[in-house]
Structure 1
Amino acid sequence: MTKRIIASFVLMAILFGCQEQGKYEGQHFEERKNELSLLNAANDNIERAVVVEEKMTIGAIGDVLLHNRVYELAETDEGKYDFSPMLEEVAHLLEKPDFLMANQESMPGGVEIGLSSYPAFNSPQEIVENLQDVGVDMVIGANNHTLDRGMKAVNSALNFYDEIEMDYVGVYRNTEDRETDRIVEMDGISVGVLAYTYGTNGIPIPQNHPDVVALIEPNRIVSDVANLKEKTDVVVVHMHWGDEYKREPNQEQRQLAQTLSEAGVDIIYGHHPHVLQPIEIVENDVNDNETIVFYSLGNFLSGQYFDFTDIGGIGTVEITKITNGEDVEVSIKNPEIIPTLVVQENDLYRVKPLESTDGSPITGSTFKETIAHTLLYLDEE
């Protein structure tokens, strides 16, 4: 407002000066008026430029891999399945992120085609609906068990996702479905999501469904990322990778993380090892991009009983977008893993916060040790 008042005073002084001295010719006077008009317009724009700050928290949980010993305990007297009692003690944690993703590793093809467990999984569809009820917004379908029961299970699962309006990525009906961008827009922030797997346990990709599951093909991933980078503020990639039951990433994981960082990926969520692996901030010299990498989120809900496989994590990050006129700055910070524990008690599997549970992990690993392990690489920086 002050600048506008000063400009008015200048204009008045010029007008009075012209009248008293008669020194300004008409053309010169009009030029000065135009200059002052532009100055006033610029001042108006400065006053109207409002700095807008928007925030969003996104998160992901690890493997939902339903062995028969898990889903049999979820069966109701009516022959349906209800997993909600297994999730109720972590529901308050799952509801915190604005957008939450889950790695649905066992394909929920439903009872119609026959439930099955390891090595070829097919799960009750109710698990997806129960996850949705406690805050899951998208399921990840790219993993080594995607094709365990063939296209029949895949199509049944995708039909159910559509029926309950659950978003999915990494598994697709056809090429058109795969080429449809997965973009989430919330609170003025847009997030693009991709997902890939190292393979499908030796099961060949059907010739008539070449894009049913997205495989880790670096060149195609880089192309997919470039496409989303043009349309979104943040790009998230889920990678089904690594060695099972290993608590630290292998060299291939770290090399792929570097490749994805150079491609412009902002956040990587890893799956498949079935145990928690550390978080790392990956930097590169190609584009000065920093990528937050959760190498593995472990098991969220499964019947596995090997060392550390009963511990999973809810991995979250905070996204902040600041818009100042035409300038936009997006920052991603505060990566965190909240450890969870799967316990079997009273003829029921339950997922609990590791920090507050009375249960004891298979290895006796404490909450403190688990947190220290997830932050191992961050503490080195």
Structure 2
Amino acid sequence: MKRGIVAGLLALTVGLTLGACAPETPVAKLSATKTATPTPTPTRHPGLGPECPTDDCFTITATGDMLFHAGLWKPAVIPTDATGRNYDFMPLLQGQSAYLNESDIAICHQETPFTQVGQEPTGYPIFATPWELASTEKAIGYDACDTSSNHTVDQGYDGVVRTLDVLDENGLKHTGSYRTPEEANQVLIMDTPAGKVAFISATFSVNGNFNEFDWQVNYPLDPDVMIARAAQARAAGADVVIGVQHAGTEYSNEADIQQINNAHALIDSGQFDMVYGHHPHAIQPMEFYNGHWIVYSLGNGISESSGDYPVNNEFLIMRAQFSKAKDGTWSVSDMAWAAATNKQDGVYRWCSVASDAPQGVCQSPEFDAGVRERTRATVNAMGAEAAGAHEWLVTQEK
């Protein structure tokens, strides 16, 4: 055998032997790695006010009649300022701001129409309230005003239009009176981060004054009409619907049969989550009826003092927290109230007489305590405290 052939055979044998014994070169293997999907953190909308018991809450605050006589506007006169104002109502109403700004939506009752620029204001029986009031209402924290009352049309259709224009100019939403039939067919739905709330209002009377058009104010107060409007609001996306009735016996601390029947009809319809009211110029009870709250009268939002009717000088501000349950339903999870009066240091001021005295002494410790305890007794006359209603101590909130 030739030497070259032998060498070749030896090399082949060695190569095969080494190949069989050499370690394999690692080869990367593909594997399906399962990526865990993180559990989304629920987005919470707790709203302003008390601690939210669920993920989603909002609060609404309401006051009673903005009722202006000369005793309120004369002390508010100022030299004409750069905006053309001749009245400054901030000192009168500023005390409300601590409460209004602890709520997601604050709504007033603009009972009387506004003057036009240069028009002298007037009081009872045909009211015209200085238009400058609207800028103060906005500045202290109101978001909207209900405008259906027995004085809505005191200045005729022009007064209705002017009032709504002034509210618009000051960034205040409104419901209860209207400039056009098309506007009258709409409902007020206000947004919060947690949900949408609608306000449906009506008045029992317009005092027979200047009611040129049937559609210019929600009158008469007809529960069936209000229920239909509530259904309209639901169809438009409202999560919560609140009824507002301007009715009752003046200067009475008791709800009358019309108020009770109306409010119960609204709740019993299943379309309303809460009802409140004004007009009596006196505080009236809260009632927890069929699982829902009714506040029969908030009294006045502000008023001049009355010696004949002391109840005219005592006010109620209330806040309701609505919370959304896991099944999507909404209910009131907290109902709070605070009492107030209309003077401090002998000057007209909206002044809280709540137990925490957020504005200090209003008239005297004895007077303040008297207003507060009369209010407490009236509010609870239909079992409100047992159902969970409590005094609103705004200084103790976080």
Normalising by structure 2, report the TM-score.
0.77
Instruction: State which of 312, 316, 323 in structure 1 corresponds to 2:315.
Output: 312
Instruction: State which of 273, 279, 285 in structure 2 corresponds to 1:272.
Output: 279
Deviation at 1:204, TM superposition (A): 5.0
2:214 aligned with 1:213: no
Instruction: State which of 63, 74, 77 in structure 2 corresponds to 1:75.
Output: 77
2:121 aligned with 1:115: yes
Instruction: State which of 175, 179, 190 in structure 2 corresponds to 1:184.
Output: 190
* One-letter amino acid matched to 1:105: E
What whole-Å deviation, never above 9, does each CA across 1:207-228 have from its counterpart, x for those lacking one?
xx32110011222112111111
Deviation at 1:105, TM superposition (A): 1.0
Q: In the alignment, which residue of structure 2 is the partner of 1:334?
A: 334
Q: In the alignment, which residue of structure 1 is the partner of 2:303?
A: 302
What whole-Å deviation, never above 9, does each CA across 1:60-111 have from its counterpart, x for those lacking one?
0111111012111111133710000112233212211110000111212334
Question: Please, which runs of 5 or more residues in structure 1 have no aligned partner?
Answer: 1-39, 284-289
Map of 1:187-198 to 2, 5 A cutoff?
A: 187-198=193-204
Map of 1:111-260 to 2, 5 A cutoff?
A: 111-203=117-209, 205-206=211-212, 209-215=213-219, 216-230=221-235, 231-260=237-266
What whole-Å deviation, never above 9, does each CA across 1:29-64 have from its counterpart, x for those lacking one?
xxxxxxxxxxx9xx979x559585111111101111
The 3 A distance-change label for structure 1 pair 304 and 105 is: farther
The 3 A distance-change label for structure 1 pair 315 and 363 is: closer
Instruction: State which of 56, 59, 63 in structure 2 corresponds to 1:57.
Output: 59
**Contact residue 57 and residue 322 of structure 2 kept, 8 A:** yes
| Structure with the larger strand share | 1
Q: What is the CA–CA distance in structure 1 between the aligned matches of 2:58 and 2:371, rounded to whole Å?
A: 30
Of 128-137 and 227-236, deviating more is: 227-236
Question: Please, which runs of 5 or more residues in structure 2 have no aligned partner?
Answer: 1-33, 45-54, 388-398
2:324 aligned with 1:321: yes
The 3 A distance-change label for structure 1 pair 57 and 144 is: same
Deviation at 1:373, TM superposition (A): 1.9
Deviation at 1:146, TM superposition (A): 0.5
Q: What is the CA–CA distance in structure 1 between the aligned matches of 2:325 and 2:245, rounded to whole Å?
A: 29
Q: What is the CA–CA distance in structure 1 between the aligned matches of 2:267 and 2:153, rounded to whole Å?
A: 29
**Contact residue 66 and residue 302 of structure 2 kept, 8 A:** yes
* Rg comparison, structure with higher value: 2
What whole-Å deviation, never above 9, does each CA across 1:309-335 have from its counterpart, x for those lacking one?
111111111011245xxx423221222
* One-letter amino acid matched to 1:82: D
**Contact residue 270 and residue 296 of structure 1 kept, 8 A:** yes
Q: What is the CA–CA distance in structure 1 between the aligned matches of 2:177 and 2:64, rounded to whole Å?
A: 17
**Contact residue 308 and residue 363 of structure 1 kept, 8 A:** no
What whole-Å deviation, never above 9, does each CA across 1:309-363 have from its counterpart, x for those lacking one?
111111111011245xxx42322122221111101655x4100011333415989
| Aligned-pair identity (%) | 25
Deviation at 1:376, TM superposition (A): 2.0
**Contact residue 155 and residue 210 of structure 2 kept, 8 A:** no
Q: What do you get for the CA RMSD once the two structures are aligned?
A: 2.4
Deviation at 1:229, TM superposition (A): 2.5
Normalising by structure 1, report the TM-score.
0.80
Of 233-242 and 366-375, deviating more is: 366-375
Q: Which has the higher contact order (CA 8 A, sep 6+)?
A: 1
| Structure with the larger helix share | 1
What whole-Å deviation, never above 9, does each CA across 1:168-226 have from its counterpart, x for those lacking one?
110111211121221111112110111100011122521xx321100112221121111
* One-letter amino acid matched to 1:217: D
**Contact residue 284 and residue 299 of structure 2 kept, 8 A:** yes
**Contact residue 305 and residue 342 of structure 2 kept, 8 A:** no
SS of residue matched to 1:86: helix
SS of residue matched to 2:296: strand
The 3 A distance-change label for structure 1 pair 341 and 363 is: closer
2:265 aligned with 1:262: no
Q: What is the CA–CA distance in structure 1 between the aligned matches of 2:94 and 2:385, rounded to whole Å?
A: 33
2:111 aligned with 1:105: yes
Deviation at 1:266, TM superposition (A): 0.9
Q: In the alignment, which residue of structure 2 is the partner of 1:34?
A: none
Aligned residues: 327
SS of residue matched to 2:56: strand
Deviation at 1:379, TM superposition (A): 4.4
